[in-house]
Amino acid sequence: MNLSVSRVNRSKEAARASYNRLSGWYDFVAGSTEKKYRDRGLEALSAQPGEKILEIGFGTGHCLVSLARSVGAQGRVTGVDLSDGMLAIARERLQKEGLSDRVDLRLGDAANLDFIEAGTLDGVFMSFTLELFDNPEIPRVLAECYRILKPGGRLAVVSMTKNDPPGIPVRIYEWFHEAMPNYADCRPIFARQSMEESGFKIESADASMMWGLPVQVVLGAKP
């Protein structure tokens, strides 16, 4: 496969401002559409009691709740997100679920996870998040994931992708991404190939469709 990946043309500051504006109604716009794909990603990661898990780009916190329940009282979940608006909503959701004591929330950029020690986590989870990073940053984010995972640790990524040749829905979506990045902010990437290039052993890669757009759920392991 030899397909190009669109670039990300907005700054991190613009992305933060956009998600802060979206945070109050993000669940209404995208929550139900993305849920079944997020759930497949969580199933692939299969967080276990007592594990330490990181979610990158936790949004309004639905997956944090699932992860916190899976790791149990002896486990720990950390969440990193660029948007303080999303963080506030996720914190409120965790408090309502009585799970705040199992989850640490951080405002930050996953291209730099220096607050997490190398080789200390059992799993990392990303859902419709890796696509938000510009092409040069994707290897940096994956390198950080690789660094913080224990040997045998897992990385589960849910992402938009595209086939060869890309279908009409993908071409239309990519045009919107170029023209209106604050509304079509994700774009199709090749998560499996990027993970392999970053040293992960691919355990599974399941494909499906969302509104005519190909979606992959990829599970990789650190050897």
Summarised one tens digit per residue, pLDDT across range 49-73 is 999 999 999 999 999 999 999 999 9
Phi and psi at residue 151, to the nearest 5°: -55, 130
Q: What is the pLDDT of residue 34?
A: 85
What the block records as the tokens of 120 is 């200390």
- What burial class does residue 206 get, using C-beta atoms within 10 Å of its C-beta: 0-12 exposed, 13-18 middle, 19+ buried? middle
Tell me which residue range forms the domain holding 99: 12-221
Confidence band of 170 (pLDDT split at 50, 70, 90) = low
In a domain, 2, yes or no: no
In a domain, 165, yes or no: yes
Q: What is the pLDDT of residue 220?
A: 98
In a domain, 22, yes or no: yes
Give the mean model confidence (pLDDT) for residues 16-23: 84
**What's the total number of domains in the chain?**
1
In a domain, 4, yes or no: no
Catalytic annotation, pick one of 34, 55, 131, 174: 131
- Going by C-beta distance under 8 Å and a sequence separation of 6 or more, which residues neighbour residue 198? 139, 142, 143, 145, 146
In a domain, 217, yes or no: yes
Does the annotation count 131 as an active-site position? yes
Tell me what percent of the residues of the chain surpass a pLDDT of 70: 87
**CATH code (residue 162):** 3.40.50.150
At 190, the amino acid letter reads F
In a domain, 144, yes or no: yes
In a domain, 216, yes or no: yes
Q: What is the pLDDT of residue 22?
A: 77
pTM of the model: 0.91
Phi and psi at residue 127, to the nearest 5°: -130, 115
